[in-house]
Structure 1
C-alpha cells in the first residue's frame, strides 16, 4: 500500500484515480511514499527517507527544493500544459484590459456610488478611459511553451500581427504554430511590438530581463503582460517607464507590494490557472504520473531527473537513480548478483541519470549492495 501525502487540497479527479486498493491518501504522514501538492512550500520541510516522488499539480516548481530532492533520489514531477488553456484565456483577457482601461473605468464608475445623475457623469467622464483596439497591432510572445504557443495562435485569430521567440526551436514547436506567426529574436520584439507577453522561466539569465536598458529600447507606449514570474521585470525601472509613458500599461499575475497602487499597473492575484477545469487537469496528470512511477518505475515529466520509460511486462524491475553514475557499474552489479537482464533503458539529464532494468527471474537477488556504488542516489525493485 502506497501512502500519498497531500500538502494542498487536490481535486478529487486526481486522487480518485489512485486505486484505493493500492493507495492511502493522507493529510498528515510521517513516512509517505509520495507527495501531491500545488503551491505549498517544501523548502523548510525535512524530507522523509520513505519519500520517492513529489508531483506538483501545476507547471512552476519554485516551491520545491529540486536539487535536494534529486540528491536524495526523489523524483519531482510537474504537469506542463495541463493549465495552459486557463492561463491563455486570462492572457487574452489581459490584452483587452491593458488596452481599453477597463479596470480603471470600472473602479471610477464604482466611485460614483451615492452621487446623483450618474448617467450624465458617466457620459462626461468616459473620455478618460479611451484605449486602442488590438486588431492590426503587433504582439510579441516571448517563450513558446504550452501557454505561449496557445496565446500566439489565438492572437492571430483576433487579428493581431504576432511575433514570437523561443530559446530553442524544433519541428515540434514549429508544427504547433500558426504559419502566419513571425519567428524572430527578443530584440526585434522589444523594438517593434505594441504588446509583449512573457512566458519564460525565471532563471539567473532571465531575472530582470526587462530593465532600464530594455525600456530604453521598447516601442513607445508598449503594453506588457507578465504571466510567468514577477522577477522577470525590474519593478523600479518599470515604474519610471510608466511615469514617462514609455510603457502604457503593465499586467502582472504575480503582484508584490511594490507594484500595488501604481497607475496603469493591473494586478491580478495569481488567477492564471484558477479554473475548476485546470485544477482537475493538473490533479489528474500529477496523480497518474506519480502512480506510473511508483507502480512501474516509469518517469514522465520530471523536472530533476530524465524522462525514462519502458513497457511494463510484469517482470521484476530494478530502477536506479544516480548522479554522475556509470551505467556499466549498475549492469555489472546486477549480473554479478546472479540476475539475468532481459531489457534495459537509460537516460540522463545533466549530471543525473535513471536506469530501468527488467530481469528474467521471478525473484530478484539481493540488491542492497547498490547503495554502496558511487553515484547511486536511490534504487527500487518493483
Structure 2
C-alpha cells in the first residue's frame, strides 16, 4: 500500500506524515504502508508563497509547476494527501491505482476536479479554518451594521463622526433575520453562533437534508433562495465557487433584497457580480456590505469600492489564526478515519 504526501510552505510533509501515522487506511493491517513525501515550494517565504496560492485560486492546478518526480510516484500510489499543492490533470493521468485524495483545506481550486470524477477517485477535504471563518463572519456583521471599522477609521483621521449612512436601519443583531446561502460546515457553525445569540436564521442549500439539521440541533428554517433573499436583513454567503455559482449574487438579487439589508462575504468574491454590487451600494439599494474577499488581491488603489462609505473591507484574513493551518492535517486524519469507519462524511466531495 502506497501513500504519496505533498507538503508546502504552510503545511510541511513532515506534519502530514505525522498525522498519517494514525490514519486507518483500509487494509493497512495486512499491508505495510509505504510513504513517499514531496515538497511544493516549502522553502518560499509566506509572502512569495501567497503568490503561488493566488495563481492556483485564479487559474487552477494547471497554472503552477508540480513537484519533480511526483507524477512517477503516483503511478502505483493508493492514496494522496496534500494541503494546497496542485493535483493536476497530468498527475492524475498517471495515477492508475489511486483510490482517495485527502486535502486539508476547504477550497478545491488546486485539484483537477473533472479528472477526479472521471477516474472515480474519492475526494475528501476539511475546512481547517471553519471556526475562525465563522467567528470572523459574525465580526463582520457587527462591524458593518454598527459602523465599528469606519468609526475607528474616522477617529484615526481626526474626525469624531457619529452619523452614518445606515442610521435609519441601525439596531441590535437579535432584531435582524440572517440568511445563509450555503449551509455546509462553515454555514452551520455560523448558524450555531447566531442561535446562541437569539437571532432568527434562515438558509438556502439544495444539498442539505432538513432532518440532519434538526438532528444536529440547529434552529434554521430552510427556504427557497428567493425567500431567503427577500426576508434577510443580513445575507451571508457560504457557497463554493463553481461555474454554477459564479456571479450568482447579481442585480436581480440586490433588487429583491430589503432596502436596509446587508451582504457579508467570507467565501469567494467571484460569487458576487462586482459591478452590480457597487451599483447597489452607491444607490443605497442595500445598506451595506462587508467583504473579506476581493476580485483582485491585493485590491487596486483605484478600486471603486474604496470610495464607498457603506462597505467594510478586510484582506482575506477570516481564516488566519495561529492554530488553524498547523492543526489541519490532524483534522484531516480524524475526518478520514470517520469516513473509513462509516462510509459517510460531511467533507466528502466526490465518491
- Common fold: TM-score over 0.5: yes
Aligned counterparts, 1:187-226, within 5 A: 187-226=226-265
Runs of 4+ in 1 over 6 A off after TM superposition: 288-293
Partner of 2:50: none
Q: Is 1:241 aligned to 2:280, yes or no?
A: yes
Partner of 2:199: 160
For structure 1, list consecutive stretches of 5 or more residues without a partner in the other structure: 113-120, 307-382
Q: Per-residue deviation at 1:140?
A: 1.1
SS of the residue corresponding to residue 191 of structure 2 reads helix
Partner of 1:174: 214
* Residue pair 2:270, 2:295 contacting (<8 A) in 1 also: no
Q: Per-residue deviation at 1:89?
A: 0.6
Q: Deviations over 1:235-266 (max 9, x none)?
A: 11111110111122212232123565242332
Q: Per-residue deviation at 1:200?
A: 2.0
- The count of residues paired between Structure 1 and Structure 2 equals 291
Residue 269 of structure 1: which of 315, 333, 350 is its match?
315
Partner of 2:55: none
For structure 2, list consecutive stretches of 5 or more residues without a partner in the other structure: 23-32, 40-66, 297-302
Between structures 1 and 2, the one with greater helix share: 2
Q: Is 1:142 aligned to 2:178, yes or no?
A: no
CA distance 1:8–1:100, change in 2 (3 Å): same
Q: Is 1:55 aligned to 2:102, yes or no?
A: yes
Give me the whole-angstrom Cα distance separating, in 2, the residues matched to 1:43 and 1:110.
Answer: 47
Q: Per-residue deviation at 1:9?
A: 2.4
Q: Per-residue deviation at 1:70?
A: 3.9
Between structures 1 and 2, the one with greater strand share: 1
CA distance 1:288–1:26, change in 2 (3 Å): farther
SS of the residue corresponding to residue 163 of structure 2 reads helix
* Residue pair 2:247, 2:273 contacting (<8 A) in 1 also: yes
Partner of 1:361: none
Partner of 2:116: 69
Q: Deviations over 1:139-174 (max 9, x none)?
A: 112222121122122213223222222214242122
Partner of 2:19: 17
SS of the residue corresponding to residue 303 of structure 1 reads strand
* Residue pair 2:3, 2:80 contacting (<8 A) in 1 also: no
Q: Per-residue deviation at 1:10?
A: 1.1
Q: Which has the larger radius of gyration?
A: 1
Alpha carbon RMSD of aligned pairs, Å? 3.3
Q: Deviations over 1:286-329 (max 9, x none)?
A: 35667999x99x8965433x2xxxxxxxxxxxxxxxxxxxxxxx
